[in-house]
Chains A and B, each alone.
Chain A
Amino acid sequence: MTNTPLQPERRIFLKAGAGLTLGMYIAPLSALASAPAQDFAPNAFVRVDPDGTVTVISKHIELGQGAFTGMATLIAEEMDADWNRIRIEAAPADRTRFTNLHLGSQGTGGSTSLANAYLQMRQAGATARAMLVAAAAAKWGIPATELKVAKGEVSDAGGRHKAGFGELAALAAQQPVPAKAELKRPEQFIFIGKKVPRKDSHAKSTGTAQYTQDVKLPGMLTAVVARPPRFGARVRSFDADRARGIKGVVGVVQAGDVVAVLGTGFWPAKQGRDLLQVEWDESQAVRVSSDTLMNQYRDLARAPGLKARADGDVDTALPALVRTVEATYDFPYLAHATMEPMNCVVRLSPGLCETWYGAQGHTTDQDALAAYLGLPPAQVRINTLYAGGSFGRRGNPKSDYVLEAAAIARAWAMQHEGQATVKLVWTREDDMQAGHYRPMYHHRLAGGVDASGKPVAWKQHVVGQSVVSTMPQYAMFVKGGIDPTTVEGSANLPYAIPHLRVEATTTDPGIPIQPWRSVGATHNAFATEVFLDELAVLGGQDPVSLRRELLAQHPRHRGVLELVAQQAGWEKPLARGKPGERRGRGIAVHESFHSYVAQVAEVTVKADGGFRVDRVVCAVDCGLAVNPDIVRAQMEGGIAYGLSAALYGEVTLKDGRVEQDNFDNYRVLRMAEMPAIEVHIVPSAEAPSGVGEPGTPVIAPALANALFAATGQRLRTLPLRSATLQPA
């Protein structure tokens, strides 16, 4: 054990002594009576301790996107709490209290955290405030309407009485819970819409933030696994004699399709894993190669697909046009490549499973663990820790890494009287080769412009795997055989083009896939925004003017378009480069997760075809920006993430083997390649929408359009290889 108590253990302890907790479900009186009377827990999301500490219970994981700070901001706003006395605790898995109101299960995804919790958390805070005020009113014999609250203190107008939340907690717990507490009007906001400092910055700047990787429990073993060399391969047999000879290796178990070496720490377990001799049964293994798969996709795209949208009559209109263009766009598999490779801690004892990890799909994982272990879901406890990134990965719809940890723990527990405490740690190589990628896609487009240069026909066919098919819990979203994520951004193309058809063909090559930051938008934004640029060129139109015209019926798209064009100085010519350098800028606009983003990328292409992204101007309309600085951070990060994929991201398969395994052959953006980024937020009173994902898909098409502007060469295959740009 470390010399300081572990955060998870401390959490459990605190929960046992909970004071005031407010939530959708009020703790039964008996529970309140048994809790220390001086605490106040008016609902599931707020607790006030006697010392005045306000604990916010976040149903959303903090994985970098700022959800903890966001939840706390909403509650602090309505409570008029003291920001410095707020702490945040991750909620346990409990669908009765902590369901994501947009997803229908407890989890964090689809850029929904702030959006789904916006009114719910404010209501929780307002309820707590009302009860604290009622307590003060009762204590002082003054009508509640004559009391005010500021910075965690209730006082009367006359200045005779003053009490902190802590002093009032016990009495507040005895007040009736108001059916509906009044919410503030926007002009009363003191936190919402302001730069409120992140709650996790200190811990993350000093190395004290606790991640799964950092968990240490009594008797815990570290498991490092040998994974199948191809998807679908099984363990035939293994020889662990040499592995067992490593000092610190405690045991070796087979758990499903992996063989796990258990050690007293990572290093012995890893050494043992490297010495394992595993014979794999590859009779059912997937042996596809990326290049042959893409060729199949190209053939499929030439044949008809299922119709996702059909406006007008493109089959008649398109051949009648004089000026037409055809284009295909190719997208590779992408790994999430979080900084913290996947890991999970599982402790099993008879009748109980406890876990510690960065849980993103709490109830999905809880149900999967319960089914696998034969336990009631309530006997599967999830302690959510900070995640070292996710970008979708930690919300694996099949609970892959969580079940793998449980399988190893169960195999060990079967040999040890039902007890096991295991931390599964994937190496970077395990993480990158374990699949669950953003799928490979192929888009085939054809379109044309009329005599005035205006696009009037658009035909598109998207071919690739269905992300939703991997998520049985969202199967109801599949309509007419079409996964909406496959065509999201294309089937709802906002541009006014009278003859428009979008088709989809779903493939199933057996490669595990899952959502990746912005899901369908990752490829649809590129195909549509680059193709629109191609049509603009064909029709001799300015890319901004054309979009402005075609988006006449879409004011929020228009809003970000105008803002980004203005801030980027689109009307002025781009400054020239040094002799031999070609410069260009490109624009892209895309809506995803109900947020609207437009970006202008400026590039400099050197004589040899190498290029750098100098500057990105970004405009975002995410409704009311609850924390503008976090909105900016998510746009910056989303652009960097999208730029990594645009410049380098590519997982390739050769005869079923993944060819990348670490950051040397799966390159990502580094410091020197980070462009200057300016983020501009559209002022809005609309309900908040997400910002975690929508910044990502826009940069690649903006960049490709910029490269075209600079060189006249159209790159249609991701990643955008500088080597394919011809020298000047």
Chain B
Amino acid sequence: MIRFTLNDKPAQVDVPGDMPLLWVLRDELDLTGTKFGCGKALCGACTVHLNDQPVRACVLPVSMAAGARVTTIEGLKTRAGKAVQAAWEKLDVAQCGYCQSGQVMAATALLSHNAKPTDADIDAAMGGLICRCGTYGRIRAAIHAAARALA
């Protein structure tokens, strides 16, 4: 049995330790907001927070989450997270939307550590995430807008 804190509540799963956290979340715990895109940490659609740090859940063995705090898009309750989501909605960032859970999680992690990110900071923090609809410009604008809202 592997135990961790999921969205501020205790969670436990009886799965092999090498099972990626993504599939534990999606198939075992029915939290489907975190998406499967590539399975190799190349696209970032599966980004969640592990002890407030952004990680790619598709390659993270669930054993690595044992005892840790895991936050998914469903449990994003922080002020930064809410500001990011509000900016996303205001600017109508999403098109197909499939990558956006990961984008929102990565953007929230960025703003949690860097209250006023520059464009270069955004490039660095968001560079591992792919959006095939090409919403990058709006993502950038929404991160700046969220930073202003939090200031």
Contact = CB atoms under 8 A, between A and B. Distances in A.
A569 B74 CA distance: 46
B123 A203 contact: no
A205 B134 contact: no
Among B89, B137, B139, which residue has the most Cβ atoms of chain A within 10 A? B137
Given A207-B101, A641-B132, A340 B140 contact: no
A140 interface: no
A630 B91 CA distance: 11
A207 B73 contact: yes
Contact of B89 (A1, A201, A209, A338): A201
B134 A388 contact: no
A639 interface: yes
Among A65, A203, A672, which residue has the most Cβ atoms of chain B within 10 A? A672
Nearest to A196: B92
A183 interface: no
Contacts of A341: 36-37
Interface string B81-104: 000010011001111111111001
Nearest to B72: A207
Given A200-B94, A202-B89, A205-B93, A2 B32 contact: yes
A194 B43 CA distance: 34
A205 B32 contact: no
Interface residues of A, number: 67
B35 interface: yes
A65 B89 CA distance: 16
Given A200-B97, A339-B99, A662-B38, A672 B33 contact: no
Interface residues of B, number: 54
A231 to B, nearest CB: 23
Interface string A639-670: 11101100000000000000000111000111
Nearest to B139: A671
B132 A339 contact: yes
A207 B33 contact: yes
Given A201-B93, A265-B27, A341-B37, A211 B98 contact: yes
Contact of A671 (B23, B30, B39, B123): B123
A183 B42 CA distance: 50
Given A640-B136, A663-B43, A207 B34 contact: yes
Nearest to A432: B38
Interface string B121-150: 011001101111111111110000000000
A676 B137 contact: yes
B-side interface mostly: loop
A206 B31 CA distance: 12
A247 to B, nearest CB: 8
B38 A64 contact: no
Interface in A352-402: 386-391
A391 B133 CA distance: 9
Contact of B27 (A64, A203, A266, A676): A266
B96 A389 contact: yes
Contacts of A389: 96, 98, 132-133
A204 B136 contact: no
Contacts of B39: 427-429, 662
Given A198-B92, A207-B101, A340-B96, A64 B20 contact: no
A638 interface: yes
Among A265, A425, A643, which residue has the most Cβ atoms of chain B within 10 A? A265
B45 interface: yes
Contacts of A210: 32
A674 interface: yes
B19 interface: yes
Nearest to B81: A206
A208 interface: yes
B40 A339 contact: no
B8 interface: no
A213 B40 contact: no
A636 interface: yes
A3 interface: yes
Contacts of A65: 95
A629 to B, nearest CB: 6
Interface string B1-43: 0000000000000001001100100111010111111111011
A63 interface: yes
A387 B96 contact: yes
A169 B129 CA distance: 47
A2 B129 CA distance: 28
Contact of A388 (B73, B96, B139, B140): B96
A710 to B, nearest CB: 23
Contacts of A677: 137
Interface in A606-651: 629-630, 633, 636-641, 643-644
A671 B35 contact: no
Among B96, B126, B131, which residue has the most Cβ atoms of chain A within 10 A? B96
Interface in A60-107: 63-66
Contacts of A200: 94, 97
A265 B94 CA distance: 28
Contacts of A721: none
B96 to A, nearest CB: 3
B116 to A, nearest CB: 18
B40 A664 contact: yes
Contact of B30 (A216, A427, A672): A216
A264 B23 CA distance: 11
Given A201-B89, A636-B137, A637-B95, A670 B130 contact: yes
A464 B135 CA distance: 32
A464 to B, nearest CB: 24
B38 A428 contact: yes
A339 B30 contact: no
Interface of A: 1-3, 63-66, 197-198, 200-211, 213-214, 216, 222, 247, 264-267, 337-341, 386-391, 425, 427-429, 629-630, 633, 636-641, 643-644, 662-664, 668-672, 674, 676-677
23 contacts: A2-B32, A64-B94, A200-B94, A202-B89, A205-B85, A205-B93, A211-B35, A213-B32, A339-B96, A339-B132, A386-B96, A388-B96, A428-B40, A636-B138, A637-B95, A640-B134, A640-B136, A641-B133, A643-B134, A662-B42, A669-B134, A671-B139, A672-B127
Q: Which 10 pairs between the two chains have the least Cβ-Cβ distance?
A: A640-B134, A207-B33, A388-B98, A204-B97, A64-B96, A207-B73, A265-B27, A64-B95, A204-B94, A674-B136
Given A2-B32, A676-B137, 15 more contacts: A200-B97, A201-B94, A205-B100, A207-B73, A216-B30, A265-B23, A265-B26, A266-B23, A266-B27, A337-B132, A388-B97, A662-B40, A664-B42, A670-B136, A671-B136
